[in-house]
Amino acid sequence: MNPKDFKIGIIGGGQLGKMLIQEAKKMDFSVLVLDPSPNAPAFKIADEYIVADFFNQDKIRELVEKCDVTTFEIENIDTEILSVLEQAGNKIYPSPGLLEKIKDKSKQKEMMTNNNIPTSLWERISDLNDTAERLGLPFVQKSCCGGYDGRGVFVIKSKEDFKKALGGKTFGEKFVDFEKELAVIVARNSQGEVKSFPVVEMAFDHNENICDMIIAPATVDKAIKEKAKQLAIRCIELFEGVGVFGIEMFLTKEGDVFINEIAARVHNSGHYTIESCMTSQFEQHIRAICGLPLGATDLIVPSVVINILGKEDQYGHPFYDGMNKALKIPGVNLHIYGKDYIKPYRKMGHVTIVDKDINKAIEKSNKVKETLFALSEEVDNVG
Ligand code: ADP
């Protein structure tokens, strides 16, 4: 094959799309991207792009029909037209049928329950009182669709919180008093070959409900890692997923591992693979959807990943304060996504800090957090 003559379509042109293209370009594939924003980060490095909404059926058809294979980096897209196009013989990975189930978190939970995959007890909500009765308080209310980075997740601690409950289609989940949150990136290609990446630990900022730090590898027993790995592999095999999947898990105080949620795409918890593993999650996804052999996933060096989030009160054209200082720290790898507008807590980039000693990597990541800031040029706030 000459990759230049093989066109990959990507629905979604955010940072995940951009990093997918960076890896696709390593092998000289051609890439066509669709995104509603004319300034989408991935457009800067794509061969071609289409500015269109994720539910614009005509434009999605145009993209799929122009490409040899189509994938996506966002789940909230039109699966109806994708199913029609798949039935007409177009290659779309992961399959639209699977995406349809995964993008609705309640259908995802149903799929896990039906396949005996361990996950917390749950039910669709019609009456909050009834759900509270059955799941107990506190319980977690989640939006079925469209939630991300903690939006669409609300912990109901008492009946007082019913007033603040989420609107729309939601479900309730038993509150898990977890010890740690883990994640596994797992890939399967169209021939059925499966490979998982090392298990990582996700540390959360519970004020913002956003993942604050990824520690790779997770600091848990070998037996726990093996349990998490086997669970991730079982999921992707059962669902016959093709591509890379990000699987978030809870580790309970009793040493049980169960699944919180599955993402049918490359995932934030797998960014560390770019510098830390023999193959990155992005290259693995390209290999998987193109029917190529999967790459080795061994860890080369431990690392910590932190997000660069828009600082509070910052709106406007972004600039990055403290780059010089941060880049002087050995092992710092800076990824700036190229978003043209900063908003509080928007993911503007990430930093991967590699170090043979994971504790040193954590120390260094704290230094980076005190040094590097995403700010708006429109405000006089040079630190
Ligand atoms: P998102 O898709 O926004 O990441 P998640 O379902 O992963 O949503 O929830 C975000 C965070 O909320 C989780 O990482 C975890 O910290 C917390 N959380 C979610 N579900 C539960 C639960 N059942 N029990 C306790 N905490 C939970």
- Sequence length of the chain is 383
Does 382 score more than 70 pLDDT?
no
Res 180 pLDDT > 70 = yes
Q: What is the pLDDT of residue 44?
A: 96
The reported pTM is 0.95
Query: pLDDT over 90 for what percent of the chain?
Result: 93
Ligand 1 geometric centre to CA of 277 (Å): 27
Residue 151 pLDDT: 83
CATH class of 121-174: alpha beta
Q: Which residues line ligand 1 (CB under 6 A)?
A: 120, 140, 142, 147-150, 152-153, 173, 175-176, 181, 204, 209, 248, 260-261
Q: Where are the domains positioned within the chain?
A: 3-92, 121-174, 178-376
Mean predicted confidence (pLDDT) in 217-232: 97
Confidence of residue 207 (pLDDT cuts 50, 70, 90): low
Tens of pLDDT, residue by residue over 152-167, are: 999 999 999 999 999 9
pLDDT greater than 80 at residue 150: no
DSSP strand E in the chain: where? Answer: 7-11, 30-35, 48-51, 69-72, 122-124, 139-143, 153-156, 170-174, 178-188, 194-196, 200-205, 210-216, 243-252, 257-263, 303-309, 318-321, 332-336, 347-354, 373-376
Amino acid at 130: D
Decide which of 148 and 158 is more confident.
Answer: 158
Q: Tell me: the pLDDT tens digits for 81-93? A: 999 999 999 999 9
Q: What is the number of the ligand 1 atom nearest to the C-alpha of 173?
A: 23
Q: What is the pLDDT of residues 72-124, one digit of tens each?
A: 999 999 999 999 999 999 999 999 999 999 999 999 999 999 999 999 999 99
Supply the CATH classification number for the domain 178-376. 3.30.470.20
CA of 109 from ligand 1 middle (Å) equals 13
CATH of domain 3-92: 3.40.50.20
Which residues is 142 bridged to in the sheet?
153, 171
